[in-house]
Amino acid sequence: MSLLSVEDLRLSFGGLAAIDGLSFSVDEAEIVSVIGPNGAGKTSAFNCVTGFYRPTSGRITLRDKNLLGLRPSAVAGLGVARTFQNLRLFGELSVLDNVRAGSHLWLRQSVLDALLHTPRYRRSERECTEQAHHWLDFVGLRGDRYGAARNLPYGEQRRTEIARALARRPDLLLLDEPAAGLNHGEKEEMLDLIRRIQGLGVAIVLIEHDMGLVMEVSERVVVLNFGKEIADGRPEDVRENPAVIEAYLGSDAHA
């Protein structure tokens, strides 16, 4: 049984088909990349899986549990975490607080605990902070953890966002262009980080434009073009696929 299964997903905005019959699946602890030209519907597909968009039709299941029609927080509750294409950190809050957001569903404290500062409150707050530090260590954050997240350099903000998603302790992590805007050294580190996340037993779906990174890290690649799936296979096969080459480079016949 695969972890995530997307079947015949369709999504349209006012008659315009953004996704037109997408099917793919992700196994436990597998890394699958979704690639395609800009506007191919990659991020839209992420938004469908995570509950931000309601697809026109199709099936999305996580370990045979239906995700369709659930609100994003419920999808997150089932073990799906994500990052956003344009960083969506809580800018005014501290880096630690950002990562604490990932622990939200794990914390066991009631309003009464909080009002009375019971031992249970203190324990859960301490655990939450330790977890946050743990995940920031894991992603290798060097910057100030106590200051506002918006003051971090760009690359560090990317790491923080991933740490926040990991603190959710997901089974499936959706990364939307994690390497965008990173320099060469940072990309290498991102590659390493993605592998280490896989090492935790987390499956990863990756949207990425950097083909080097995609070919290096993915076990499977799904290629989208104009909302349609044009290839699904091992990186080396996809690279040779004529349809993919055409989508990326255009074919002579059309030129």
Work out whether 124 is an interface residue with another protein (CB under 8 A). yes
| Six-digit token string for 116 | 């009375």
Are 27 and 203 in contact, with CB atoms under 8 Å apart? yes
Work out whether 168 is an interface residue with another protein (CB under 8 A). yes
Work out whether 101 is an interface residue with another protein (CB under 8 A). yes
Amino acid symbol at 123: R
* CB 216, min distance to another protein, A: 25
| Residue-level length of the chain | 255
* CB 73, min distance to another protein, A: 4
Work out whether 220 is an interface residue with another protein (CB under 8 A). no
Work out whether 130 is an interface residue with another protein (CB under 8 A). yes
Residue window 184-203: x/- pattern of binding to another protein, with contact defined by CB under 8 A = ----------------x---
| Six-digit token string for 70 | 């659930």
* CB 186, min distance to another protein, A: 15
Nearest to 224 by CA among 5, 30, 9, 53: 9
The rounded distance, in Å, linking the Cα atoms of 152 and 147 is 8
Residue found under tokens 């099936």: 59
The rounded distance, in Å, linking the Cα atoms of 103 and 158 is 18
Q: How many residues bind to another protein according to rule CB under 8 A?
A: 62
| Six-digit token string for 226 | 């104009």
Work out whether 24 is an interface residue with another protein (CB under 8 A). no
Among 122, 142, 195, 196, binds another protein (CB under 8 A): 142
Residue 65 or 88 having the CB closest to another protein: 88
Work out whether 111 is an interface residue with another protein (CB under 8 A). yes
Among 115, 249, 253, 255, binds another protein (CB under 8 A): 115
- CA dihedral (216, 198, 153, 45) positive or negative: positive
Which residues fall within 8 angstroms of residue 70, CB to CB, at 6 or more apart?
51, 78
Residue 40 or 89 having the CB closest to another protein: 89
Helices (H), the chain: 42-49, 72-77, 95-100, 111-116, 119-139, 154-167, 184-199, 211-217, 235-240, 242-249
* CB 180, min distance to another protein, A: 16
Residue 207 or 247 having the CB closest to another protein: 207
Amino acid symbol at 116: L
Among 64, 92, 236, 252, binds another protein (CB under 8 A): 92
Choices 59-67, 121-129, 214-222, 246-254 (CB under 8 A): range interacting with another protein: 121-129
Work out whether 56 is an interface residue with another protein (CB under 8 A). no
